[in-house]
Amino acid sequence: MNNSATILHLRHVRKSYPGAVSTEVLHGIDISIAQGEFVALVGPSGSGKSTLLNILGLLDRPTSGSVEILGQDCTRLDDAGLTRLRGQSLGFVFQFHHLLPSFTAEENVFLPMQASVGHFTPDMRNRARDLLARIGLEGFETRPVFRLSGGQQQRVAIARALIMNPALVLADEPTGNLDRASGQQAFEFMQQFNRELGTAFLLVTHDPTLAKRCDRILTLEDGYLANGAQTT
């Protein structure tokens, strides 16, 4: 952990699902992520990674414990407050990029900003074009994304995740649907933005090679989090 401001802090987070017998999936998770960190989250299937990521992304609430983002106690927010905080502070990159195929690259990138303010401005296009240029897609701004390769589409998704200048980007297996070369390139672009913008990243990955290139590795097993190991 570096000495920068804390972006995300989970304290004693537990998550249970009701049923004939209540099932606890997460058992007292504690995580802190600082500004500018690049952290890997690894663990076998069924370890609770998806549940944890939904809580980190403010898409689900813990059964107990607290989630703080930029000092804001999220457990005290209603659904509208969570939606606002998520849009302002978090970016998301998925294994399947969830782009709008008939929209252009730049339209996909600035769409979260347009949705946030309720109307389009030329500055949104300028911001989108700047991000696309920084990830090697200059000249592709007005191309519909269905005409882009898988690796190019994932780079558009990375730019979209950054359009609102989030403090933290949650990347869920972002290289899992790409060939090795495209996956390496996508990872390197995320590291580039991490270094240049100070954006924190939490990368969920099954690739041990990528995990070792992150600042820390968090290991989740059977809903328990091992101590975060420094990789450098």
- Distance between CA atoms of 165 and 131, rounded to whole angstroms? 11
pTM for this model (two decimals): 0.88
Q: Would you state the pLDDT for residue 120?
A: 86
* Closest CA relative to residue 163, chosen from 104, 96, 87: 87
- Angle, to 10 degrees, between the axis of helix 105-117 and the axis of helix 150-162? 20
Query: Which pLDDT belongs to residue 11?
Result: 95
d(CA 188, CA 210): 10
Q: What is the pLDDT of residue 229?
A: 52
Q: In the CATH hierarchy, which top-level class contains the domain 6-230?
A: alpha beta
pLDDT along the chain (232 residues), means of 10: 76 88 89 94 90 93 94 90 91 84 92 85 92 90 91 91 94 83 87 91 91 94 77 56
Domain boundaries, the chain: 6-230
What integer pLDDT is reported at residue 3 of this predicted model? 47
How confident is the model at residue 98, as a pLDDT?
81
